[in-house]
Amino acid sequence: MWESCDERGYRRDVSQKPTPKSPPSPGGREPQRIAKLLARAGVASRREIERMIESRRIAINGVAIETPATLLTSLHGVTVDGKPVSAPAPARLFLFHKPAGLLTTERDPKGRPTIYDRLPKDMPRVVPVGRLDLNTEGLLLLTTDGELKRQLELPAVGVERSYRARAFGNVSQDQLEDLIDGVEIEGVRYGSIDANLERRTGANVWIEMRLKEGKNREVRRVLEHLGLQVSRLIRTAYGPFILGDLPVGEVGEVRQHDLVTFRKTLKPAPHGATAPKTASPRLTAAAAPAPGGRRGRPRHRSGPAPAKPKG
């Protein structure tokens, strides 16, 4: 027997026993949704956790839960696939210089290589912040904290992404400046883009673009709308974190102090806000210290610009 859908669209079987809730915390902690707690613990993204709940893979004291809206004060007694969930550790954030030719997903049905094939085997479980397309290269943030991932992806939070694109064709600075007001392409509205013509190299142009939405293939679609053919796309920065001189295929970790400081500057995520649709790979085991001890550095506007690739 099924009653009406809950606010997330999940049906509840009223013939089953109510989902158990954890006892009140001695410390008086405010109850939170289990999907949020598990995301913070690095189990998976919220969207993936919702699918796991729907598949009855998550339980409390041995009883499968039915809705991601279940409120808990802690993860005591919570299991995923029968395995206890550890309490959340402090969030970690990594910078990965993604090469072209890798998918931002855990596994591919066609057997194509993914970012997880290139990550160090001793990394903790990480999930990508957003995604980069197969042929897009550059900075990809990876985190152990699903809640941090969500916060960084939400357009409402306003974290800026920076790109450099090499494209074939002609475009004027005036055309690029019109993008500051946003543009609609085939019924899809893209928000404000700060674009500048960097230089011309023969029949190609290099364009710098900064945006805060990150819709699927946004940069490529906008430039194609202007009559350009993108031949290379590089993400150079995400928020204050820059690609800099991080070698292709290597990983750097943001210092804990810098990460804590950065998180204090973020606007809180609006209740019910959703990130742009991207791939939602399951978290996989993969970091300990980054190779060579290289660490990501926050970007400061007054600091040196990232090295420019040769055109």
Residues 232 and 179 in one domain: yes
> From the CB of residue 100, how many other CB atoms can be counted at a distance below 10 Å?
15
Between these two residues, 215 and 3, which has the higher pLDDT value? 215
Q: What does each C-alpha distance from 282 to 39, 144, 147, 291 come to in angstroms?
A: 11, 12, 14, 23
CA 15 – CA 17 distance, rounded (Å): 7
Q: What is the mean pLDDT of residues 3-31?
A: 50
Percent over 90 (pLDDT), the chain:
56
Determine, yes or no, domain membership for 69.
Answer: yes
Same-domain check for residues 167 and 230 = yes
For residue range 242-284, list pLDDT tens digits in order. Answer: 999 999 999 999 999 999 999 999 887 665 555 554 433 332 2
Tell me if 98 is assigned to some domain.
yes
User: Pick the residue with more confidence: 41 or 16?
Assistant: 41
In contact, 114 and 105? CB cutoff 8 Å:
yes
Q: Residue 61: which of 29, 85, 35 has the closest Cα?
A: 85
Are 141 and 259 members of one domain? yes
CATH of the domain at 175: 3.30.70.1560
Q: What's the CATH number where 20 sits?
A: 3.10.290.10
Model pLDDT for residues 161-171, shown as the tens digit of each residue: 999 999 999 99
Out of 81, 117, 133, 181, which one is annotated catalytic? 133
291 and 263 in one domain? yes
Last residue of a domain, one of 199, 221, 238: 238
Structure tokens at 274: 């959703």
251 and 141 in a common domain: yes
Query: Strand pairing partners for 96?
Result: 140, 251
Picking from 45, 42, 22, 122, the residue whose alpha carbon sits closest to that of residue 87 is 42
Looking at the fold, whether 250 and 234 belong to one and the same domain comes out as no
133 belongs to the catalytic site: yes
Rounded to two decimals, the pTM is 0.68
- Mean per-residue pLDDT over the chain, rounded: 81
In a domain, 22, yes or no: yes
The number of domains in the chain is: 3
Q: Of 88, 113, 131, which residue is a domain's last?
A: 88
Task: Give whole-number Cα distances, 14 to 3, 64, 67, 69, 225, in Å.
Answer: 6, 14, 12, 16, 51
Q: What is the DSSP letter of 13?
A: B
Judged by DSSP in three states, 303 sits in: coil
Asked if residue 310 is part of any domain, the answer here is no
* Domain annotation covers residue 257: yes
| Same domain membership, residue 270 and residue 232 | no
The rounded distance, in Å, linking the Cα atoms of 117 and 61 is 35
Domain containing 36 equals 1-88
Q: Are residues 48 and 13 in the same domain?
A: yes
Residues 209 and 234 occupy one common structural domain: yes
What's the CATH number where 145 sits?
A: 3.30.70.580
Report the distance separating Cα 1 and Cα 83, nearest Å: 30
Average pLDDT, integer, range 55-74 = 91
Burial 255-293 (b: 16+ CB within 10 A, else e): eeebbeebeeeeeebeeeeebeebebbbbbebbeebbee
- Percent of the chain as helix, strand, coil, to the nearest 5: 20, 30, 50
Same-domain pairing of 101 and 49: no
Buried b or exposed e, range 52-77, using 16+ CB within 10 angstroms: bbeeeebbbeeeebbbbbbebbbbeb
Asked if 44 and 120 sit in the same domain, the reply is: no
Residue where a domain stops, chosen among 29, 55, 88: 88
Verify that 100 and 68 share a domain, yes or no: no
Q: pLDDT over 70 for what percent of the chain?
A: 77
Residue 305 lies in a domain: no
Query: Cα angle vertex 226, ends 221, 228, to 5°?
Result: 80
User: Is 197 a domain residue?
Assistant: yes
